[in-house]
Amino acid sequence: MSSRERILGRVRRALTDVVPDGRTSTEAVPRNYLRAHGERSTEQTVQLLAENLTDYRAIVHRCDAEQLPDLVMRLLAEHGTQEVLVPSGLPPAWLSAADPVRLADRATSTAHELDRVDSVVTGCTLAIAETGTLVLDGSPGQGRRRISLIPDHHICVVRVPDQVVASVPQALERLDPARPSTWISGPSATSDIELNRVEGVHGPRKLDVVLLG
Amino acid sequence: MSGTFVGMPAFPEAASRAVRDATLRGNLRHATHTIRAKRAQAVAELSDWAALRTAGMRIKEHTLRHLDRYLVQLEESVTAAGGTVHWALDAEEANRIVTRLVQETGESEVVKVKSMATQEIGLNEALAAEGIRAYETDLAELIVQLGKDRPSHILVPAIHRNRGEIRDIFRTEMGRWGRPAPEGLTDAPAELAEAARRHLREKFLRAKVGISGANFMVAETGTLVVVESEGNGRMCLTLPQTLISVVGIEKVVPAWRDLEVFLQTLPRSATAERMNPYTSMWTGTTDGDGPRTFHLVLLDNGRTDTLADRVGRQALRCIRCSACLNVCPVYERAGGHAYGSVYPGPIGAILSPQLRGTASAIDASLPYASSLCGACYDVCPVAIDIPEVLVHLRERVVEGGPAVREGNRVVLKPAKGHAAERAAMRAARWAFTRPGALRAGQRLASGTRRLHPRTLPGPGRAWSGTRDLPAVPVEPFRDWWQRTHGGKEGTG
Ligand code: SF4
């Protein structure tokens, strides 16, 4: 007998006291928790996102489409960026004023090559206000998971208000489970040394979030 | 479980050693108190905490009641998404599978995301025996691995080490494993983190094989979820060509939607954050993004035996948030190592003896490593009644009774005259002679039980508004113990 059959057999024998009711988890579980916490206007939700991101030591900027190229240019310059990673579907206008050399996100780049890049600019799929979280799912404009991980500096552009949801439940219902997703709440951090929060152990140490709209 | 902790003294001896270690006690006290206070605040932010807690409990309960169905569904979804599923009855089989998978890649080193399942089976040691080096990449795990130490907490495994000790470990050990610590390394946390970043980055960038656990697996979609802070998880999950995840069968949840409950309750219960810095979700493999090969090893290793126990099976609901450790007066004093298992604290006291059986002295004594104060139940985001299971397991140790071991129904003999009983008695004596350990928890609570409010004042009100506070036992355990001479008179 295979281990698979054995384990499943043991599970079934362990549950002989349970009367199967054929219900799905959706039917069997009370869902009387909230879909979002509190009543907020759209602007207040965006404001909450900004506050929670800041609370996690992301640096939040707001601008409109016209100001964006200059803002991106300034953020890259402040970081001293020589080379910037650019996912394929990123609107070219976003980087139209920036000086650094643009490197395309390619499947063939090695991790060592990516490690030499200073910054990355990406969009996102959505952002969650209540938790201060950005969600990337690898769509064009966001790139492969590793490009927002290896460079030390990540600039993420969120279109407000249409990419902003209030809560975790609202986020999950908008995501496609088939796509790999990365949820980012502030820069990489550890509290392993006497519970002191230290930013940037392995991911980007600096996270600039641009709320565009 | 593996022999990782074989030779551990029973809980009371290990604990009394820990209690005499002032540094360890200081570190632990600072850590647990800090997290505890922050957690209460993070929880108070969610006015529907009680509803989320109930939903989390019910999702897990429902899953366990139909575990065969959901495991088969998970296997189908993972396979359909391009992954390969393996089943492992015990630690040995899981280690064999993983070793073979690594050997098939031709590699002799792997990077690892912190995973309790792989610690439970002693994977690093098994790989080492076959000439494969496994690098732990979580900062705390790195500290533990370099220090040839054992983790002492589920979430902050090096909580027992202070910064001076960490600096010393980095200085002397890093060079033996790769990039040495920089000259003149001080004990500033930022410098220590930087040293770890450089040391580990070398390994991430060349790694071809990653090994992880998972916090959740979604049966409906085949999605695996890893929740972390540092980004080492993302490194291990996305940079290597081959990813091998070893996950306990109880980690499955039925539907994508179920994640909305746990992604709210887990971070707040664990590190007291609204959300942990990074969460990774992947479904099989994705062309051109991340590993090209994905293996999922589903691990039993005593879980089906635990499932067979009608009282004890609730321990399988655990989402490893570690909130119960941070509130436990016994853990705070004894430290994680005393539990002789990768699962310390209150959850360890009920999980380890079920996964491993109560044959050894340490396992027989674990159900006594508690004051039954009930704080662990109050904070548990999936409402595991830890005190109930503790009492149930104590009865089993002292009186014997039916149980399932490796899939077979057995009748355990009462521990009378056996090592187990002696261990239990010593544990009890240990606890009873430590005025702080017990009285802080349950004696005071019992003494004032009539004064206890049914709802909490202040910010706790929303939380307790829809549920009663747990009743304080009429008779403290130690009184019961003394009255009945440790249950030998059969009452209780
Ligand atoms: S038993 Fe509950 S509180 Fe303890 S680690 Fe598990 S889920 Fe968290």
Tell me which residue of B225, B247, B204, B216 sits closest to B88, measured CA to CA: B247
| Alpha helix segments (H runs only) across B271-373 | 303-307, 323-327, 329-334, 345-356, 361-365
Cα-based distances in Å from B60 to A19, A25, A174, B67, B165: 16, 9, 24, 10, 40
- Pairwise CB contact (< 8 Å): B286 & A168: no
Q: Does B229 touch chain A (CB under 8 A)?
A: yes
Q: According to the CATH classification, is domain B49-301 in 3.20.20.370?
A: no
Tell me the pLDDT of chain B (492 aa) as tens digits.
433 344 456 676 677 666 666 776 777 787 778 888 888 888 988 999 999 999 999 999 999 999 999 999 999 999 999 999 999 999 999 999 999 999 999 999 999 998 999 999 999 999 999 999 999 998 888 888 888 887 777 677 777 788 888 999 999 999 988 899 999 999 998 898 889 999 999 999 999 999 999 999 999 999 999 999 889 999 999 999 999 999 999 999 999 999 999 999 999 999 888 999 999 999 999 999 999 999 999 999 999 999 999 999 999 999 999 999 988 888 888 777 778 778 888 999 999 989 988 777 777 788 887 878 889 999 999 999 999 999 899 888 878 888 898 999 988 877 655 455 555 555 555 554 554 444 433 433 333 333 333 333 333 333 333 333 333 444 444 444 445 444 444 333
According to DSSP, the residues that pair with A198 across neighbouring strands are: A190
| Model confidence band, residue A39 (pLDDT cutoffs 50, 70, 90) | very high
According to DSSP, the residues that pair with A157 across neighbouring strands are: A210
Write out the two tokens for B342: 């990768």
- Pocket test of ligand 1: the residue of B59, B322, B377 to mutate, having most ligand atoms within 8 Å of its CB, is B322
Overall residue count recorded for chain B in this entry: 492
- For residues B423 and B5, what is the distance between their CA atoms, to the nearest angstrom? 17
State phi, psi for B311 to the nearest 5 degrees.
-85, -45
Does residue B382's CB lie within 6 angstroms of at least one atom of ligand 1?
yes
Nearest CB to B46; choose among A24, A37, A190: A37
- For residues A11 and A20, what is the distance between their CA atoms, to the nearest angstrom? 13
Who contacts A201 (Cβ-Cβ below 8 Å, separation ≥6)?
Answer: A188, A189, A190, B139, B193, B196, B197, B230, B231, B232
Nearest-CA distance from A151 to chain B in Å? 12
- For residues A60 and A155, what is the distance between their CA atoms, to the nearest angstrom? 10
Say what the pLDDT of residue B19 is: 63
User: B24 CA to middle of ligand 1, Å?
Assistant: 23
Give, as one character, the DSSP assignment of residue B98: H
- Write out residues 315-354 of B within 8 Å (CB-CB) of A: none
Domains in chain A with CATH codes: 40-212 (3.40.50.10420)
User: B323 CA to middle of ligand 1, Å?
Assistant: 6
State the pTM of this model. Answer: 0.87
ipTM for the complex shown = 0.96
Q: Does B205 touch chain A (CB under 8 A)?
A: yes
Interhelix angle B11-20/B419-432, nearest 10 degrees: 30
- Pairwise CB contact (< 8 Å): B189 & A193: yes
For chain B, the domains span 8-45+313-433, 49-301, 451-491
According to DSSP, the residues that pair with B133 across neighbouring strands are: B109
Interface test with A, best of B273, B409, B410 (most A CBs within 10 A): B273
- Pocket test of ligand 1: the residue of B153, B155, B320, B378 to mutate, having most ligand atoms within 8 Å of its CB, is B320
Residue type, B327: V
